Amino acid sequence: MNTLSPAPKLPVSLVANPKLSSWVGFTDDGRVAISIGKVEIGQGIVTALAQIAADELDVAITRIEMTRASTAASPNEGVTSGSLSIQQSGRALRQVCAEVRQRFLRAASERLGVDASRLDIDDGTISGPGNVRTSYWELMGEVSLDHDATGSPTAKSAAARTVAGHSVQRVDIPDKVFARPRFIHDLALPGLVHGRVLRPDLPDARLIALNEAAARAVPGFIAIVRDGGFAGVVADNETAAEAALKALRKGATWSDGGPLPDDDDLAGFLKSQPVETTIIDTRMAEPARHPAQTLRRQYTRPYIAHASIAPSCAVAQWDGDRVHVWTHSQGVYLLRADLAIVLKLPAESIVVEHIEGAGCYGHNAADDVALDAVLLAKAAGGRPVRVQWSRHDEMSHAPFGAAMAIEIEADLDSNNEITGWRHAIWSNGHAARPGRAAQPTLLAASEIANPYPRMVSTNPPAANGGGGDRNSVPLYDFPAWTITSHRLLTMPVRTSALRTLGGQGNVFAIESLLDEIAELRGEDPIAFRLRHLRDERARDVIRAAARRAQWKPQKQPGIGHGLGFARYKNTGAYCAAIAEIKGADGVRVRRLTLAVDVGEAINPDGVINQIEGGAIQAASWVLKERVRFDRTRITSTSWTDYPILTFSEVPAVDVEIIQRPEIEPVGAGEAAHGPVTAAIANAVYDCLGVRVRDLPITRDRIIAAMERAP
């Protein structure tokens, strides 16, 4: 039974790439080549998609070869983001494989003279009564896949699947434990040389003069590339490239940079800028009752760094007026579109091929460094140039997740029931990915001689989950609300997509205030939420987390418990989190208990891994993370100045999946961040009796909140 998607509505990725042959092919050596437009960023997507294909085609998963995304051959699936890969790529691939299977069954039926309904497929061998048999590979010459998908037949029923729904081991992990090169950083190409780019210490400072003599004297030096304010060096090995960069830096003269806001008053800054205001949603109550009281609360979230363990890296190689780019970008076609604008080349002259990098958690410098490599490779005489950013540049020039100020006013009646709700957000836009606008968003594009203006980040439309407003519309049945988003039109600190976009901040705010209101009423916070939720799947994850954490454990001094809940984007995965913290000299998160519902979990262990990882990353954001700057420069440019949670500090994480094999699957990568953030904040209140409304929740912030509290 598949009540959510009546056939034959095609999945979005299939509408964009309808040809069956662009997704599936059979190879001479008895394998199945699956081509997808989504990319591996450590989330295990390649394995989950291989499972879907293996199931639908009835071949062993070991026969599946996942081709990495490239603009030369892959379906164009936009960007790997927003926890949409299972939803978009997975649904498309499932449908494609179902149709491919049917075409082969039809051909086998003709060849074997057996009705297709009496044929079975087992690991690619098609057999029927009387021991007749053939296979995909025997038939591949006579079955054309150069047809568009039709939307019928539909895929197997949930009960008939044997691979999807099971915890298959990830296909990429053996390479990673046996140190077989898999990352772009380890890419070996003949004639490979190395590049480094000179970037200013002060944001927006422009290169005025450059003394090149010392860099040119470095042994191994190949070339300096200058294009307006963009400057870089190419050398025949990394040591030489670093030495030449150091020499260039000494010889560089810069203009002043742009001023930065006061990082101790982010709300003051965010609320004083010119903005574009959008009403995201309103709901009107019947008669506007006069509230007995109105609670007005402000919450803030700082700028947060993606802080990938690997600095961004790319390789580019020119051949005449064509260029090949190896990248860990999340969107090969989108990157290509921006490169085409900057290079003034037709897109067909550029091939962008994906190779894994480290986890990126959103739009980091992966795309920027690709343009850097392309520009430097112009001076390398046809040799491939590998460019790697420094840790410092990664932590200062890459985009950050946007800071947010969120104000909620809750009208309460005399029983402290909610009668009205106004939620307003001030934030820079949460998206400035390449390939979506008429102007490029790549960093070097704003540095070259004919620079493109730096794009001020925007927000995806509400239909795609929104940006700063993501998860701001309550899932709770309050009688009236108005949700307003103020997007900044200035951008002194560069921002773009970080996991959940505005979701983490908005869920933190909503769930913190709900907790406060439940307490005012003297009502259990879980009972209070359940009373305001009609969606059974929402109620189920909350009840499951509560049961698993034995809510509510007996009060002990120094220990606190808190709950947070959200459905990611209000359309994706449901997640409830319960935090157990120890509060003394600072806060330590001891345990996070989560329940999650992603519909059909293709790879349950993969889902658990994503939820665990998201929970730990969120705990790190909440307890420690904050991009620091003075009025002229970013100062949190090392791991010492931008600490993240360490092995001794991470909490135990316990995850329960509510499996719903009959419901279309959604992604898990961003479901935990909002609920965990809120759960920790609420546990801090339970433990210490103080509401900390400014992230991160550090010792200083707790003390400040205690001093503010009446």
Considering the complex, state which of residue 135 and residue 327 has its C-beta at the smaller distance from other proteins: 327
Tokens of 14: 């299939």
Distance between CA atoms of 519 and 60, rounded to whole angstroms? 54
C-alpha torsion sign, points 40, 44, 50, 56: negative
* Residue-wise DSSP of 441-502: --GGGGTSSSPPPPPPPB---GGGT-STTTT-S-SS--S-EEEEEEEES--SS-B--BTTTT
441 contributes a contact to other proteins by CB under 8 A:
no
Q: Which stretch binds other proteins (CB under 8 A): 209-217, 309-317, 483-491, 680-688?
A: 309-317
# binding residues, other proteins (CB under 8 A): 56
505 contributes a contact to other proteins by CB under 8 A:
no
Helix (H) or strand (E) holding 623: helix 604-624
For the bound state, the minimum distance from the C-beta of residue 616 to other proteins, rounded and expressed in Å, comes to: 3
Considering the complex, state which of residue 130 and residue 219 has its C-beta at the smaller distance from other proteins: 219
648 contributes a contact to other proteins by CB under 8 A:
yes
Distance between CA atoms of 590 and 75, rounded to whole angstroms? 44
Q: Which stretch binds other proteins (CB under 8 A): 38-46, 133-141, 367-375, 434-442?
A: 38-46
Give residues 233-252 in contact with other proteins (rule: CB under 8 A): 237-239
Tokens of 487: 């997007």
Short-list 500, 606, 568, 672, CA closest to 90: 606
185 contributes a contact to other proteins by CB under 8 A:
yes
For the bound state, the minimum distance from the C-beta of residue 395 to other proteins, rounded and expressed in Å, comes to: 9
Helix (H) or strand (E) holding 279: strand 275-283
Q: Are 167 and 605 in contact (CB under 8 A)?
A: yes
Binding residue for other proteins, selected from 388, 484, 593, 682, defined by CB under 8 A: 388
Binding residue for other proteins, selected from 286, 438, 647, 707, defined by CB under 8 A: 647
C-alpha torsion sign, points 178, 179, 184, 187: negative
Considering the complex, state which of residue 54 and residue 514 has its C-beta at the smaller distance from other proteins: 54
For the bound state, the minimum distance from the C-beta of residue 361 to other proteins, rounded and expressed in Å, comes to: 7
Q: Are 377 and 366 in contact (CB under 8 A)?
A: no
Binding residue for other proteins, selected from 559, 650, 658, 704, defined by CB under 8 A: 650
Q: Which stretch binds other proteins (CB under 8 A): 80-88, 137-145, 305-313, 517-525?
A: 305-313
Considering the complex, state which of residue 513 and residue 589 has its C-beta at the smaller distance from other proteins: 589
Q: Are 286 and 495 in contact (CB under 8 A)?
A: no
Give residues 351-370 in contact with other proteins (rule: CB under 8 A): 356-359, 361
Binding residue for other proteins, selected from 186, 262, 265, 700, defined by CB under 8 A: 186
For the bound state, the minimum distance from the C-beta of residue 673 to other proteins, rounded and expressed in Å, comes to: 11
* Residue-wise DSSP of 9-22: PPPHHHHHS-BGGG
Binding residue for other proteins, selected from 117, 450, 554, 646, defined by CB under 8 A: 646
Tokens of 46: 């390649």
Short-list 509, 427, 559, 464, CA closest to 675: 509
Q: Which stretch binds other proteins (CB under 8 A): 118-126, 295-303, 374-382, 605-613?
A: 605-613
DSSP-H helix ranges across 143-220: 173-177, 213-216
Distance between CA atoms of 444 and 344, rounded to whole angstroms? 14
Binding residue for other proteins, selected from 176, 296, 547, 708, defined by CB under 8 A: 176
Considering the complex, state which of residue 112 and residue 594 has its C-beta at the smaller distance from other proteins: 594
Pattern 608-627, binding to other proteins, x per CB under 8 A? -xx-xxxxxx--x-------
The contacts of residue 709 (CB under 8 Å, 6+ apart) are 689, 690, 691
Judging by beta carbons within 10 Å of its beta carbon (0-12, 13-18, 19+), is residue 580 exposed, middle or buried?
A: buried
* Residue-wise DSSP of 520-576: HHT--HHHHHHHT---HHHHHHHHHHHHHTTSSPPP-TTEEEEEEEEEGGGTS-EEE
Judging by beta carbons within 10 Å of its beta carbon (0-12, 13-18, 19+), is residue 539 exposed, middle or buried?
A: middle
Sheet (strand 481-488) strand order = 275-283, 481-488, 418-427, 404-412, 293-301
Partners of 275 in beta bridges = 488
Distance between CA atoms of 33 and 31, rounded to whole angstroms? 6
Binding residue for other proteins, selected from 125, 390, 635, 659, defined by CB under 8 A: 390
Q: Which stretch binds other proteins (CB under 8 A): 35-43, 150-158, 398-406, 537-545?
A: 35-43
Pattern 564-603, binding to other proteins, x per CB under 8 A? ----------------------------------------
312 contributes a contact to other proteins by CB under 8 A:
no
For the bound state, the minimum distance from the C-beta of residue 581 to other proteins, rounded and expressed in Å, comes to: 17
For the bound state, the minimum distance from the C-beta of residue 234 to other proteins, rounded and expressed in Å, comes to: 15
Considering the complex, state which of residue 86 and residue 425 has its C-beta at the smaller distance from other proteins: 86
For the bound state, the minimum distance from the C-beta of residue 383 to other proteins, rounded and expressed in Å, comes to: 15
Judging by beta carbons within 10 Å of its beta carbon (0-12, 13-18, 19+), is residue 480 exposed, middle or buried?
A: middle
For the bound state, the minimum distance from the C-beta of residue 597 to other proteins, rounded and expressed in Å, comes to: 20
Give residues 208-237 in contact with other proteins (rule: CB under 8 A): 237
Considering the complex, state which of residue 4 and residue 188 has its C-beta at the smaller distance from other proteins: 188
Q: Which stretch binds other proteins (CB under 8 A): 37-45, 254-262, 548-556, 573-581?
A: 37-45
* Residue-wise DSSP of 588-617: EEEEEEEEEE-SS-SSHHHHHHHHHHHHHH
Distance between CA atoms of 187 and 606, rounded to whole angstroms? 27
For the bound state, the minimum distance from the C-beta of residue 548 to other proteins, rounded and expressed in Å, comes to: 16
201 contributes a contact to other proteins by CB under 8 A:
no
Distance between CA atoms of 695 and 404, rounded to whole angstroms? 10
Distance between CA atoms of 241 and 227, rounded to whole angstroms? 18
Considering the complex, state which of residue 183 and residue 551 has its C-beta at the smaller distance from other proteins: 183
Helix (H) or strand (E) holding 331: none
Binding residue for other proteins, selected from 24, 225, 538, 653, defined by CB under 8 A: 653
Considering the complex, state which of residue 174 and residue 381 has its C-beta at the smaller distance from other proteins: 174
Considering the complex, state which of residue 42 and residue 465 has its C-beta at the smaller distance from other proteins: 42
Considering the complex, state which of residue 488 and residue 645 has its C-beta at the smaller distance from other proteins: 645
Considering the complex, state which of residue 86 and residue 462 has its C-beta at the smaller distance from other proteins: 86
Considering the complex, state which of residue 612 and residue 656 has its C-beta at the smaller distance from other proteins: 612
Considering the complex, state which of residue 554 and residue 646 has its C-beta at the smaller distance from other proteins: 646
Q: Which stretch binds other proteins (CB under 8 A): 78-86, 155-163, 383-391, 499-507?
A: 383-391
Distance between CA atoms of 444 and 339, rounded to whole angstroms? 11
Pattern 5-24, binding to other proteins, x per CB under 8 A? --------------------
Pattern 156-175, binding to other proteins, x per CB under 8 A? -------------xx-xxx-
Distance between CA atoms of 500 and 503, rounded to whole angstroms? 5
Partners of 70 in beta bridges = 353
Considering the complex, state which of residue 30 and residue 219 has its C-beta at the smaller distance from other proteins: 219
For the bound state, the minimum distance from the C-beta of residue 422 to other proteins, rounded and expressed in Å, comes to: 34
In the complex, which residues of this chain contact other proteins (CB under 8 A)?
41-44, 169-170, 172-174, 176-179, 181-183, 185-186, 188, 237-239, 307-311, 356-359, 361, 388, 390-391, 605, 609-610, 612-617, 620, 638-640, 644-648, 650, 652-653
